[in-house]
Chain A
């Protein structure tokens, strides 16, 4: 039954001829910008309620902790406020992003980006950037509420912005890795939830009260240094150099995670 699949219309071939130069793709910043714009359009549809939930969760934790930590325990209060603020970033950047990428992968939606002349990094950074941007309002609200509850100095609130950038990179990077690495979307959701819960405990429990032996985990968590940087500023003990250094290391964590996500992206396509 098999007939040879010949191509009768072909009169020659390109072997030996110079291959056609491929058309240029967009530059990396332009590709990231286009992916980001597309994801932000999605934000208008779906992110509002979820961001509200993320903020309510963190504010709820602050109210709860206000019953335990008195305004005199300024160091502890600063750590709690910083942990709850970074938790907003973890909720959106890690949990929701892992879910979103897991769902995109399961629906074969990654094919769209994989068949475009953009680096995998452009996709990962574009999506992660959009999710990191969603976190800013919730993180600011949480930090302001915390400052008011414990009467902490409000002058350092602006540090929430660089904290969102650095922690956003790190937590979105881990979220992207989870979303791409998990074989099924349900597993990505569970892993994202578990990772966010880990960030919650590792971030909100002040370093000084951490059980001995478990502080290694705290150091390994992607958001810890960002929590420490913000806590130091809110407590009034942070030096510019110390804060910058912690945020740079956090951002570097994110760069490594995003690079791993870029590699996983190609592998996720060839299913």
Chain B
């Protein structure tokens, strides 16, 4: 099948998505205004896989709903392949394969017919849509459940089926809101592989919402970190981590109450994020090693169950840049 959005030379080097100064507020159920996005700027080049990383409520989903024309910015501009989609929001739907955070509209359909229906609604002729659905069922390993309604599948299988529907019809841009939430590791790799194939084969541009730091580090070319409606950083995962490269992350798991009278334990306690028995401390590389040595040779060792010393993750970048939430996923 020809790729309906085959990108022309005019746009081959350009920003496929260009967001400038976007502000968006909405009213919550109590009727109070909530500012979801403030002064968002973002460019996404052709064939790039760019992620929006941030905790719940950071404004990621609101931003992507504006990219796909479901919501209009209060201020600012969004262009998609050179088209002003604030002025013409319905154009987005013709370029973008969108996966919403939840897809209850597909619940009553079987996996195959959900994919086929989506393909047809994207303009793929009926017979070809059947073939597209069969190919996607194979690609994402959904053969065992292809005839079952989505509502009767496990959360992970249902999510995978919705990803398959989002990929139907080969759009030049994919906007995927948490595509791998609830998936097991093998299905997650399957989705990452499917995205990579489309990028290589068709130059597909991908915007992917995640709050999983592992996904962000392994899959994304660039990461825009959102916090409280603002993009607080946007760069490659490597460069973002380089920005806080002096720090390493020391994780300690205590078997018994830690001996606070030990000077090293007291120093670490004052800087640790504590979750039950688990402490997480970010500290400069030069301090971390000797501190760990002192723990392992001193009285604290007897109380310690486990420890890890790791290079910074995107979560550390998020925290170093002033992020305040702690609900990013680390697995």
Q: Which residues of A contact B (CB under 8 A)?
A: 1-15, 17-20, 22-26, 30-31, 33-35, 37-38, 41-42, 45-46, 104, 107-118, 269-271
Contacts and interface: CB of A to CB of B under 8 A. Distances in A.
A22 B108 contact: no
B70 A270 contact: yes
A10 B149 contact: no
Contacts of A35: 121
Provide the main secondary structure of the chain A interface.
loop
Contacts of A23: 4-5, 94-95, 122-123, 171-172
A25 B45 contact: no
Interface stretch (B138-146, B229-237, B250-258, B261-269): B229-237
Given A17-B10, A26-B123, A113 B94 contact: no
Contacts of B5: 20, 22-23
B207 interface: no
Interface in B1-49: 4-5, 7-8, 10-11, 13-16, 18, 26, 40-45, 48
A27 to B, nearest CB: 8
B81 A19 contact: yes
Interface of B: 4-5, 7-8, 10-11, 13-16, 18, 26, 40-45, 48, 65, 68-72, 79, 81-83, 90-96, 98, 100-106, 108-110, 113, 117-118, 120-123, 126, 149, 171-172, 221-222, 224, 230-236, 239, 321-322
Provide the main secondary structure of the chain B interface.
mixed
Contacts of A15: 82
B94 A17 contact: no
Nearest to A103: B104
B179 to A, nearest CB: 14
A26 B79 contact: no
A270 B66 CA distance: 9
B164 to A, nearest CB: 14
A4 B235 CA distance: 10
24 contacts: A7-B15, A7-B45, A7-B234, A9-B48, A9-B222, A13-B15, A14-B79, A17-B11, A20-B10, A20-B81, A23-B4, A23-B5, A23-B122, A38-B108, A41-B113, A104-B104, A112-B105, A113-B121, A115-B69, A115-B100, A117-B90, A117-B122, A118-B121, A270-B71
Contact of A38 (B42, B94, B95, B117): B117
B26 A25 contact: no
Contact of A34 (B26, B104, B117, B222): B117
Given A20-B83, A109-B103, 17 more contacts: A5-B234, A9-B221, A14-B11, A20-B172, A22-B95, A23-B171, A26-B122, A26-B123, A34-B117, A34-B120, A38-B117, A111-B65, A112-B103, A116-B93, A116-B118, A117-B122, A271-B71
A1 B317 CA distance: 11
B14 A1 contact: no
B256 to A, nearest CB: 38
Given A13-B18, A23-B123, A25-B123, A7 B43 contact: yes
Contact of B149 (A25, A33, A45, A109): A45
Nearest to B72: A270
Contacts of A114: 69-70, 93
B224 A5 contact: yes
Contacts of A115: 68-70, 92-93, 96, 98, 100
A107 B104 contact: yes
Nearest to A34: B120
Contacts of B13: 11-12
Contact of B45 (A9, A22, A34): A9
Contacts of B121: 25-26, 31, 34-35, 113, 116-118
Closest 3 CB pairs of A and B: A19-B82, A1-B322, A23-B4
Nearest to B29: A184
Contacts of A111: 65, 70, 98, 100, 105
